[in-house]
């Protein structure tokens, strides 16, 4: 599968508690709702309903420790998905949000120095099968690490909760380990 679209980038730390500001930490998990004020603390211009979503990004490209700061909230991931983000590339990801991304089937792709080949607004193309990332605006490209089979399996099932619902319904939970 090939995803194509516009990128939002940041060289600075993008922290979980800025992606989802405190007044939403206890909100119910809902992609559309969680997307409304996503990134509100990263940039004040996004502290307006659907402001980030309305800029129409498909990708995020960042440097180290993306979504760091240790919040165990999963609205960071559901909010990005609700805002139209279909993959995030960074030098490294904070582990809690990396887990959450896998659990929701949103590709968080570790790609060293990817920030050096993309500016905000660039048009990117990512091939999920070959793991090739192309910057259509400047012609640069790179190949990312492949996705682990378990991650693909969870994504295929529609996320961890559906993956487990099916196993509970089938009576195959005991086979997990």
**Surface-to-core class of residue 137, CB atoms within 10 Å of its CB (0-12 exposed, 13-18 middle, 19+ buried):** middle
In the complex with another protein, the residue whose CB is nearer, 35 or 57, is 35
Give the residues lining the site for another protein (CB under 8 A): 13, 15, 17, 22, 25-26, 28-29, 41, 64-65, 68-74, 91-96, 98-100, 103-104, 148, 150-151, 159-161, 164-165, 168-169, 173, 176-177
In the complex with another protein, the residue whose CB is nearer, 58 or 68, is 68
In the complex with another protein, the residue whose CB is nearer, 1 or 169, is 169
Q: What 3-state DSSP class applies to 15?
A: strand
Supply the minimum distance, in Å, between the C-beta of residue 82 and another protein.
16
In the complex with another protein, the residue whose CB is nearer, 58 or 103, is 103
**Surface-to-core class of residue 69, CB atoms within 10 Å of its CB (0-12 exposed, 13-18 middle, 19+ buried):** middle
Cα separation of 131 and 2, whole Å? 10
For the CA atoms of 99, 93, 132, 152, what is the dihedral angle to 10 degrees? -10
Supply the minimum distance, in Å, between the C-beta of residue 90 and another protein.
9
């Amino acid at each position: 599968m090939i995803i194509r679209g516009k990128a939002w980038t940041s060289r600075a730390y993008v922290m979980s508690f800025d992606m989802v500001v405190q007044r939403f930490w206890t909100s119910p998990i809902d992609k559309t709702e969680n997307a409304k004020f996503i990134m509100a603390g990263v940039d004040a211009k996004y502290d307006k309903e659907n402001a980030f979503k309305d800029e129409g990004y498909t990708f995020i490209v960042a440097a180290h420790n993306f979504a760091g700061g240790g919040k165990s909230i999963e609205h960071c991931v559901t909010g990005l998905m609700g805002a139209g983000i279909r993959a995030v590339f960074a030098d490294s990801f904070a582990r809690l949000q990396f887990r959450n991304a896998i659990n929701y089937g949103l590709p968080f792709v570790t790609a060293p120095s990817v920030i050096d080949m993309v500016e905000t607004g660039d048009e990117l193309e990512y091939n999920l099968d070959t793991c090739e990332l192309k910057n259509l605006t400047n012609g640069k490209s790179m190949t990312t690490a492949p996705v682990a089979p378990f991650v693909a399996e969870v994504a295929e099932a529609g996320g961890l909760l559906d993956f487990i619902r099916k196993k509970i319904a089938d009576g195959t939970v005991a086979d997990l380990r």
